[in-house]
Amino acid sequence: MVFLPHWRRWLLAVLLFAFAALELPVVAGGFLAKPAPADVMIVLGSRVFGTEPGPMLRLRLEEAVRLYRQGLAPTIIVSGARGEDEAVAEAFAMRDYLVKQGIPGERIFTEDGSYNTYQNLANSQAMMAARGYRRAIIVSNASHIHRSLVLARDLGLEASAAPAPMPDGLYLKVRNYLREGAAMAALTLRR
């Protein structure tokens, strides 16, 4: 067995503790979050291929459809701009998908000016205020829920969350959870 010098063991222990401190809330957030009845759902954008939602976004939209049909929120804000390599804004692809699933177009509001989660929530919050909405359900994939709720709290947005499933495949799940842990570390350092 290889033994590390004393200081390296401490460094390794500190790094493992920091990793766990960042990742455990991310993982737990995706498992423990439960949506509460609200005025509106905010579906956060993700990759679009051509004009169609990518796999992560499709899972978010399917969760929004399920919650809408259960009556948890009577309206939906779809939020996301057009990325450099996308044919349409994520919000428009999301709206089209929801309409094809039978959700009335007048129940869907598009927010197509946001390029990150903070902007998604801030711009959606402004749309909510303009309509007199107070409570939201944030819909995103399980790995993204913790950071979304932290940012909502920072904005003063009253929100619960609905974790959509993660895509199939261990690699994608691990990659997304690690990405969110890194994003939480960056968010913590900026504070």
Reported as a single tens digit per residue, the pLDDT across 8-30 is 766 666 666 666 666 677 667 77
Is 2's pLDDT higher than 60?
A: no
Average pLDDT, whole number, for the chain?
A: 87
Q: Which of 6-15, 47-56, 64-73, 77-86 has the highest mean pLDDT?
A: 64-73
State the Rg of the chain over Cα.
Answer: 18
Reported as a single tens digit per residue, the pLDDT across 41-61 is 999 999 999 899 999 999 999
Reported as a single tens digit per residue, the pLDDT across 149-165 is 999 999 999 999 999 98
Contact 70, 82 (CB under 8 A): no
Note the CATH number of domain 6-190.
3.40.50.620
CA distance 35 to 33: 7
Q: What is the pLDDT of residue 1?
A: 45
Q: What is the pLDDT of residue 132?
A: 97
Reported as a single tens digit per residue, the pLDDT across 88-139 is 999 999 999 999 999 999 999 999 999 999 999 999 999 999 999 999 999 9
